[in-house]
A and B are shown apart, each in its own frame.
Chain A
Amino acid sequence: MSAATAPEQFWFDEFAARARKLPGAGDSALMEKREAAMALFRRAGLPHRRIEAFKYTDLRARLNERYDTDQAAAPAPQSALPAWEANRFVIIDGILSDARSDRPEGLEIASLAKDSLPPWALARLGAVNPQADHVMSALNLALMQDGVAIRVPRGFAALRPLHLQFLETGGEGAPAASHARVLIVLEEGASLTLTETHEAATGRRTLASRVTELALERDAALEHVRFTAAHARHDRISSLFAEIGAGAAYRLSQIQTGDGLERDDLFVRLEGMGAQFLLGALRLLEGTAHADLTTIIDHAGPGARADQRVKSVLAGKSCGIYQGKVIVREGALGTDSHQLARAVLLSGEAEAMTKPELEIFADDVKCGHGATVGALDPDALFYLRARGVPLNEANAMLLEAFLAEDLDGLSPEPIREVLRTATLKRLVAMEPAK
């Protein structure tokens, strides 16, 4: 790369200053990983608009602060969501709070802030469905301060959901950044429900660099529900890497709200017969929100199925991006892979961008994609209003209908009700179309 920009130089200096104090400094295997990751970051720099995958989301321009990465003990923020039955891990400004976290039985848990990681965690850290040159996850690994690794043992069905509650402190103060990571291994036949909420309190600028690695061995099942509530000064840069073994099923339901910047990279590799990935993403964006979902679904083995559905409700000057790439490798016969993007624009200044991409190297595959963008049906709005339903409520009713099947499909039930209520609250508050 050419000369480093100031934001890039900041991270070089940061690494130089902190490397020896980061967790795992005494563990040469982990330090090697960190060094290698930093080397990649030095080589490539922050992603910018001339990098195809970041065409719409120029992180070099956006992540331009001199961040405070020493997480001072601020008053701990609270979640705005009602609690549901779960084993909780509370992660405040990227740091796992032991005091507020549970110790679930039957699962193996390792803190990523500890100096020595168990071999199963170390082996997989940064190595689940790895992507060459993925800069943001490399930066995350190089500077990772904390996080959690979880192993669900072979054949174990975790009945109580596992909840990862990410909270970002707001208030006055210098911009803050944190790098945290989650690694989950589901051994053969294991099953788990994982819920994840990301809430950022308003105030100072914050950067949350988050990486999730999910390894599903054969016949494992993971139900993953994720909710985010961002604000205009919050940048959430998230990458998820998943490997799904034969017969294993992974479903991710993601609901994003607010007006922050959210970049989600999703890399899913389906490894064999009967492997399944279902994505249902709902985005309710306002103000100057910018949500970029970029996925690469890699059908590495035959007979796997992927279904991605992305729905966006875009108000104000918000922008919803979905770049979905599907790769069908040689020999991945009988692949079934679909993408659907639907967006409702509530304002003339909101934008929806969809870019599907197919790379098919096998025969006998079913791949398809579709996209729709439009306003709410004015006839339907008038019909509701003519019956006395006020405009904002009529608007919310039609938006709820637009999202109904996805909200109804959330599971398990207590989470569905909490997220449905949170979603509907946002819908009623959204500026209706003029």
Chain B
Amino acid sequence: MLEIENLHVTVDGKEILKGLSLKLNVGEVHAIMGPNGSGKSTLSYALAGRDGYEVTQGTMRFDGEDLRAMAPEARAAMGVFLAFQYPVEIPGVVTMNFLRTALNAQARARGEKEIDAAQFLKAARAAAKTLNISEEMLRRALNVGFSGGEKKRLEALQMAILKPRLAILDETDSGLDIDALKLVADGVNALRSPERAMLVITHYQRLLDYIVPDHVHILADGRIVKSGGAGLARELEAKGYDAVIRSAA
């Protein structure tokens, strides 16, 4: 489903990803772990199509299509979803309206029918309830004044509503309290299916106790330096990045 080969990405003239390769098959969940500054968010932005993340070498393909040639909204319409590490506050845009606009824009781009208002409201309310998000929050401006954990729960809500085929979760667990972590993990697991794939970026084993990955990769200095099964995450937790990365070199 997702094939990344020898990806080099430069930000502001500085090379951050230096030949990263990764392959996700449909139905799989991969976890990426790695030290601060190793390039995890850079990878997720490059996949989502953020301006200024220049691919200087290599390829990213989704369903065989070159992602580089596509605008962010086109990638989203194909089913690529990024849960932001730092969700953006957007004053004046009401969360609920935004959710519906996004859902309908994707439907239109795919040539599907738009969802009617009543149906949407019902679905959004139900999804919000499972993530313990109040309706009052949905009436507020997008992410404005939300606590760190609330923002992350809202990212999970967007994922639940948009039902992407490839979900990239960039530290969605950071900032969540213990109960919220469980709710968000339940939400992710509910979406797990043979038609979808997930790329879970995290620093903590705790999330991977709930969302058990098929593969774990360690990203260091812009490259995948080691890959393994779910056990690799536990090894990291026990020994730390330094030791594991050194032994891989």
Determine if A388 and B93 form an interchain contact, defined as CB atoms under 8 angstroms apart. Answer: no
Verify if A378 is at the interface (C-beta below 8 Å from B): yes
**Residue in B49, B92, B101, B106 whose beta carbon sits within 8 Å of that of A402 in the complex:** B92
Verify if A72 is at the interface (C-beta below 8 Å from B): no
Contact with B along A354-375 (1 / 0, CB 8 A): 0000000000000000000000
Determine if A386 and B90 form an interchain contact, defined as CB atoms under 8 angstroms apart. Answer: no
Total contacting residues, chain A, CB less than 8 A: 23
Interface residues of A (CB under 8 A from B): 377-380, 382-391, 393-394, 397-398, 400-402, 404-405
10 A-B pairs with CB atoms under 8 Å apart are A382-B72, A384-B102, A385-B49, A386-B72, A387-B105, A388-B77, A388-B103, A389-B102, A391-B73, A404-B92
Q: Which residue of chain B has its CB nearest to the CB of A394?
A: B73
Determine if A387 and B76 form an interchain contact, defined as CB atoms under 8 angstroms apart. Answer: yes
Give bound CA distance, A404 to B92, whole Å. Answer: 7
B72, B106, B158 — which one has the most chain A CB atoms within 10 A of its CB?
B72
Verify if B149 is at the interface (C-beta below 8 Å from A): no
Q: Which residue of chain B has its CB nearest to the CB of A389?
A: B105
Determine if B93 and A397 form an interchain contact, defined as CB atoms under 8 angstroms apart. Answer: yes
Determine if B51 and A383 form an interchain contact, defined as CB atoms under 8 angstroms apart. Answer: no
Q: Which residue of chain B has its CB nearest to the CB of A380?
A: B90
Contact with A along B70-106 (1 / 0, CB 8 A): 0111011100011010011011110000100111011
Determine if B90 and A383 form an interchain contact, defined as CB atoms under 8 angstroms apart. Answer: yes
Q: Which residue of chain B has its CB nearest to the CB of A402?
A: B92
**Least Cβ–Cβ distance between A377 and chain B, in angstroms:** 8
Determine if A382 and B51 form an interchain contact, defined as CB atoms under 8 angstroms apart. Answer: yes
Verify if B181 is at the interface (C-beta below 8 Å from A): no
Q: Which residue of chain A has its CB nearest to the CB of B48?
A: A386
Q: B138-165: which have CB < 8 Å to A?
A: 141, 158, 162
**Least Cβ–Cβ distance between A164 and chain B, in angstroms:** 31
Determine if A385 and B93 form an interchain contact, defined as CB atoms under 8 angstroms apart. Answer: no
For A393, what are the chain B residues with a Cβ–Cβ distance below 8 Å? 101, 105
Verify if B125 is at the interface (C-beta below 8 Å from A): no
Give bound CA distance, A389 to B90, whole Å. Answer: 14
**Least Cβ–Cβ distance between B83 and chain A, in angstroms:** 10
For B102, what are the chain A residues with a Cβ–Cβ distance below 8 Å? 384, 387-389
Verify if B50 is at the interface (C-beta below 8 Å from A): yes
Determine if A401 and B90 form an interchain contact, defined as CB atoms under 8 angstroms apart. Answer: yes
Determine if A386 and B92 form an interchain contact, defined as CB atoms under 8 angstroms apart. Answer: no
Q: Which residue of chain B has its CB nearest to the CB of A382?
A: B50
Determine if B91 and A386 form an interchain contact, defined as CB atoms under 8 angstroms apart. Answer: no
Give bound CA distance, A398 to B90, whole Å. Answer: 8
Verify if B11 is at the interface (C-beta below 8 Å from A): no
Determine if A401 and B93 form an interchain contact, defined as CB atoms under 8 angstroms apart. Answer: yes
**Least Cβ–Cβ distance between B115 and chain A, in angstroms:** 13
Determine if B93 and A398 form an interchain contact, defined as CB atoms under 8 angstroms apart. Answer: yes
Verify if B121 is at the interface (C-beta below 8 Å from A): no
Give bound CA distance, A393 to B71, whole Å. Answer: 14
Contacts known (A393-B105, A397-B98); A384 close to B90, Cβ less than 8 A: yes
A-B residue pairs, 3 tightest by C-beta:
A401-B92, A388-B76, A388-B106
Give bound CA distance, A405 to B91, whole Å. Answer: 11
Contacts known (A397-B93, A401-B90, A402-B92); A385 close to B73, Cβ less than 8 A: yes
**Least Cβ–Cβ distance between A238 and chain B, in angstroms:** 30
10 further interface pairs, Cβ-Cβ under 8 Å (given A385-B71, A391-B71, A397-B101): A377-B90, A382-B72, A384-B102, A387-B102, A388-B109, A388-B162, A389-B73, A389-B105, A390-B109, A397-B93
A383, A384, A394 — which one has the most chain B CB atoms within 10 A of its CB?
A383
Determine if A386 and B105 form an interchain contact, defined as CB atoms under 8 angstroms apart. Answer: no
**Least Cβ–Cβ distance between A166 and chain B, in angstroms:** 31
